[in-house]
């Protein structure tokens, strides 16, 4: 037959085991939360880099558009130069969009 002292010892061991189990579960939940936080930070950084790249491409395109009349007037074959410039800007924009995705 089990004595009251043995029951108390068994209850104490069970409490200790339960406490360890709760701590282990809390640690697992905390890791998940930290991983989600890190994923959100990485996503925000990627979105910011994409927005920065898009604004740089837009600024370059605007600069090229502003210089286009001068290119056409100064050089023979200016139309070809303008076409090449437009193709280059389009290629840069597509390349950066693929990198950002």
Which token pair is 99? Answer: 């990198």
CA dist 13 and 32 (Å) reads: 29
Which token pair is 39? Answer: 């994923």
Over residues 16-73, the pLDDT tens digits come to 999 999 988 887 888 878 888 899 999 999 999 988 988 888 888 888 778 777 766 6
Over residues 70-93, the pLDDT tens digits come to 766 665 566 777 788 888 888 888
Residue with tokens 């210089």: 67
* Cβ pair 41, 48 in contact under 8 A: no
Q: Is the pTM of this model over 0.85?
A: no
Q: Which of these, 1, 17, 16, 101, lies nearest to 53 by C-alpha position?
A: 101
């Amino acid at each position: 037959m089990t004595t009251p002292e043995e029951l108390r010892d068994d209850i104490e061991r069970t409490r200790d085991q339960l406490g360890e189990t709760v701590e282990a579960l809390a640690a697992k939940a905390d890791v998940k939360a930290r991983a989600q936080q890190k994923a959100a930070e990485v996503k925000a950084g990627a979105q910011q880099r994409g927005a920065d790249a898009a604004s740089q491409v837009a600024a370059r395109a605007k600069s090229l558009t502003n210089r286009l009349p001068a290119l056409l007037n100064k050089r023979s074959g200016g139309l070809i130069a303008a076409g090449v410039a437009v193709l280059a800007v389009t290629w840069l924009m597509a390349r950066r969009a693929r990198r950002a995705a």
